[in-house]
Structure 1
Amino acid sequence: MARMHTRRRGSSGSDKPATDEPPEWSDVDEAAIEERVVELAEQGHDPSQIGMKLRDEGVQGTPIPDVKAATGKKVTEILDENDAAPDVPEDLYNLLERAVRLREHMNANQTDYQNKRALQNTESKIRRLANYYRGDELAEDFKYSYDVAKRLTE
């Protein structure tokens, strides 16, 4: 599939494990995994960072290759159940951070037209993603602006 704002195709990402079952060597209790997920969220990690930390460090010294296969729930579902979910979905939050950085750069460098275009593209993605999340993850009256993005990313 092509990228949104370029003519190139994207490079392929990593693949999920082929099986839906946890491997035999990873026999960690579901409650221990959920406890570690909540602990990492309270330390300020995003759901994707939590997955990577569990993959690399694991729980009780045993790596967890796939949280969903081990517990039957996604990381975000575990966080929702324990009231540790972030206020804004992670993908939207990352775009908001990028828009704030680009806007601050544009204020300092007003003739940087390449970054002006990048800011327009990023804000377009934010509006599109906000429409997708509006009502479920975001409030019905959510409207993107620089001030809202600045407040949410602080």
Structure 2
Amino acid sequence: MARMHSRRRGSSGSDRPTAEEPPEWSEVDEEAIESRVVELAEEGYDPSQIGRKLRDEGVQGIPVPNVKLATGKKVTEILEENDATDDFPEDLRNLMERAIRLRDHMERNPGDAQNKRALQNTESKIRRLVDYYRGDRLDAEFTYEYDEAKELLE
């Protein structure tokens, strides 16, 4: 399938092996994993960063290769159960941060045509995601504006 903002196709990558149960060497209690997920979220980590930390550092010294296999729930589901979710979805927040960085760069370098195009593409992705999340995870009247996004993320 082609990329969204270019005519190139993406390169094929490897898939995670299909597994239906956690590996034998990773026997960690579900409650310990859930408490560690909530603890990391309170420290300010995003769900993807939490999964990476659990994979690399683990819980009580034992790595957790896949939270969903170990607990039966995704990291975001665990956070929702414990009321530790953010106001914005992680992908939307990351795109808004990128748009703010690009806009600041454009103010310093007005002749940078490549970054002007990158800003247009990023803001287009943001508007598309806002339409997707509107009503469900965002307010029904929410619209993306640079000034509002800058205030929300600070």
Superposed CA offset, 1:30-51 (max 9, x none): 0000000001111111100000
Q: Which whole-Å deviations, capped at 9, do the CAs of 1:71-128 have from their partners, x for residues lacking one?
A: 0100000001111111100111110000000111111111111111110100000000
CA distance in 2, matches of 1:145, 1:23: 46
Match of 1:19?
Answer: 19
After superposition, the C-alpha distances for 1:22-66 in whole angstroms (9 at most, x for unaligned) are: 111111110000000001111111100000000000001111010
Question: 1:7, CA displacement in angstroms?
Answer: 1.3
Number of aligned pairs? 154
| Equivalent residue, structure 2, for 1:132 | 132
Within 5 Å, give how 1:3-152 maps onto structure 2: 3-13=3-13, 15-152=15-152
Q: 1:96 to 1:13 in 2, by over 3 A?
A: farther
The residue type paired with residue 70 of structure 1 is A
In structure 1, how many angstroms separate the alpha carbons of the residues matched to 2:48 and 2:23?
A: 21
Residues 134, 118 of structure 1: alpha-carbon distance in 2 compared, 3 angstrom cutoff = same
Give me the TM-score of the superposition, normalised by structure 1.
0.96
Q: What is the TM-score with the length of structure 2 in the denominator?
A: 0.96
What's the % identity of the aligned pairs?
75
Calculate the aligned-residue CA RMSD, in Å. 1.1
SS at match of 2:51: helix
Show structure 2 runs of 5+ residues with no match: none
